[in-house]
């Protein structure tokens, strides 16, 4: 690889892009994809992939993360100048309290802090309950509504979590915002980079969708645009290696390799494709965990029902504390994931894809 993939992950996580407002991170993604591709292809919602032709009459392989991260949107300003908001994606209020955010206004970016009623004045029964998100607000450090408006804040503005990419411990683990799913985006970049001087028997479309966090919306438009023969969604999974969790909660662990989703609420993967992934990992010596997720789903949930049906799988990374300002991943897992996806692409020739598609 010619790219420093750690720096790629850092830059992508530190870029902003909540659902419907992916412009900043999409621009960065395009900068990475463009020199590695024959051409860029975009759909009408903002999804983008780099096309790399390995074999012109080969199968069309889609490999995509999603650009968007969970965030918020300004709904109104109180007379006192506090921002009320609508969440974009799945949030739990307990991880939002007193966290910093960036508001994107027509006049530039503003820093704010998510506020709530101080715990010192809560009634005993209130302390036992999670704060309702509707009772949260964002403090901009202004005295009134007029001052907030003068700064450029208005309903519809995007609100993004703020958390810098940070090295932890011995350098194998890192924390950041938006690991869900800039890790997937970075994987697409890494695979394209790894294939620069390598033949592959297909046409690869590697990049990212938009608006996954609000219902897998961009997966529909990107699949319609690309019309793939086979697809791999790149995402993250819940790491089950922290105190209080059992194997019934989550199977995968940080530092033990990427993961393959064998079931989620949006898709049961094609069994031949599933086995192809696991067999390839074993053949090349890449550890690959499996995960079953009873709730939620990935873009593969929409890829696989596009057109007349597209064999799909979801490959990701165990990640701690997802859907919060600060998640943690192991970079070793990421490197192994890029290698695995690269090996899969190198093996997805016409005969193999037809065998997978003929499963049904």
pLDDT by position in tens, the chain (length 360): 589 999 999 999 999 999 999 999 999 999 999 999 999 999 999 999 999 999 999 999 999 999 999 999 999 999 999 999 999 999 999 999 999 999 999 999 999 999 998 888 888 887 888 899 999 999 999 999 999 999 999 999 999 999 999 999 999 999 999 999 999 999 999 999 999 999 999 999 999 999 999 999 999 999 999 999 999 999 999 999 999 988 888 889 999 999 999 999 999 999 999 999 999 999 999 999 999 988 889 999 999 999 999 999 999 999 999 999 999 999 999 999 999 999 999 999 999 999 999 977
- The residues of the chain that CATH labels 2.40.30.40 are 71-161
241 annotated among ligand-binding-site residues: no
Residue 14 near residue 176, CB atoms below 8 Å:
yes
The Cα-based distances of 213 to 88, 180, 225, 312 in angstroms read 7, 9, 20, 19
Q: How far is the C-alpha of 317 from the C-alpha of 238, rounded, in Å?
A: 8
Question: 71-161 architecture in CATH?
Answer: Beta Barrel (2.40)
Strand partners, 238: 319
SS3 185: helix
Q: Return the CATH number of the domain spanning residue range 5-69+177-358.
A: 3.40.630.10
SS3 173: strand
Q: Which two tokens stand for residue 335?
A: 């490197």
Query: Which pLDDT value is given to residue 1?
Result: 56
304 annotated among ligand-binding-site residues: no
CA-based nearest residue to 13, from 129, 228, 183? 183
In the block, tokens 């053949």 appear at: 283
| Residue 343 annotated as catalytic | no
- The residues of the chain that CATH labels 3.40.630.10 are 5-69+177-358
Query: Which pLDDT value is given to residue 122?
Result: 83
Residue 258 near residue 106, CB atoms below 8 Å:
no
Q: Is the pTM of this model over 0.85?
A: yes
200 annotated among ligand-binding-site residues: no
CA-based nearest residue to 83, from 91, 74, 92? 74
Residue 206 near residue 49, CB atoms below 8 Å:
yes
Q: Which two tokens stand for residue 272?
A: 């031949």
Q: How far is the C-alpha of 40 from the C-alpha of 92, rounded, in Å?
A: 36
Q: What is the CA radius of gyration of the chain?
A: 21
DSSP labels for 290-321?
EEE-SS---THHHHTTSTT---EEEEEEEEBT
The active-site residue, picked from 22, 51, 69, 212, is: 212
Query: Which pLDDT value is given to residue 329?
Result: 99
């Amino acid at each position: 690889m010619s790219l420093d993939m750690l720096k790629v992950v850092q830059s992508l996580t530190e870029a902003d892009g909540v659902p419907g407002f992916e412009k900043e991170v999409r621009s960065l993604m395009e900068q990475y994809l463009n020199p590695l591709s024959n051409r860029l292809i975009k759909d009408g919602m903002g999804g983008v992939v780099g096309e790399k032709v390995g074999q012109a009459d080969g199968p069309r392989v889609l490999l995509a993360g999603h650009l968007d991260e969970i965030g918020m949107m300004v709904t109104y300003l109180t007379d006192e100048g506090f921002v009320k908001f609508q969440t974009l994606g799945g949030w739990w209020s307990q991880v939002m309290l007193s966290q910093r955010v960036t508001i994107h206004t027509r006049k530039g970016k503003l820093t704010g802090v998510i506020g709530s009623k101080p715990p010192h004045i809560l009634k005993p029964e209130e302390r036992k309950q999670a704060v309702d998100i509707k009772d949260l607000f964002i403090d901009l450090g202004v005295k009134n509504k007029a001052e907030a408006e003068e700064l450029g804040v208005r309903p519809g503005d995007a609100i993004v979590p703020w958390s810098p990419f940070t090295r932890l411990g011995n350098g194998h683990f890192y924390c950041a915002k938006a690991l869900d799913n800039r890790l997937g985006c970075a994987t697409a970049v890494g695979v394209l980079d790894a294939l620069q001087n390598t033949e592959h028997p297909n046409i690869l479309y590697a990049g990212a969708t938009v608006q996954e966090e609000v219902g897998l919306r961009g997966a529909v438009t990107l699949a319609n645009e690309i019309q793939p023969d086979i697809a791999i969604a790149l995402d993250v999974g819940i790491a089950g290696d922290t105190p209080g969790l059992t194997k019934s909660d989550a199977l995968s662990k940080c530092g033990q390799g990427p993961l393959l989703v064998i079931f989620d609420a949006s898709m049961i993967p094609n069994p031949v494709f599933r086995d192809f992934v696991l067999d390839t990992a074993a053949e090349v010596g890449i550890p690959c965990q499996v995960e079953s997720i009873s709730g939620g789903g990935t873009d593969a949930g929409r890829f696989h029902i596009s057109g007349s049906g597209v064999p799909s799988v979801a490959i990701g990374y165990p990640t701690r504390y997802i859907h919060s300002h600060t998640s943690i991943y192991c970079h070793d897992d990421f490197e192994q994931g890029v290698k695995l996806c690269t090996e899969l692409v190198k093996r997805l020739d016409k005969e193999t894809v037809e065998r997978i598609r003929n499963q049904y």
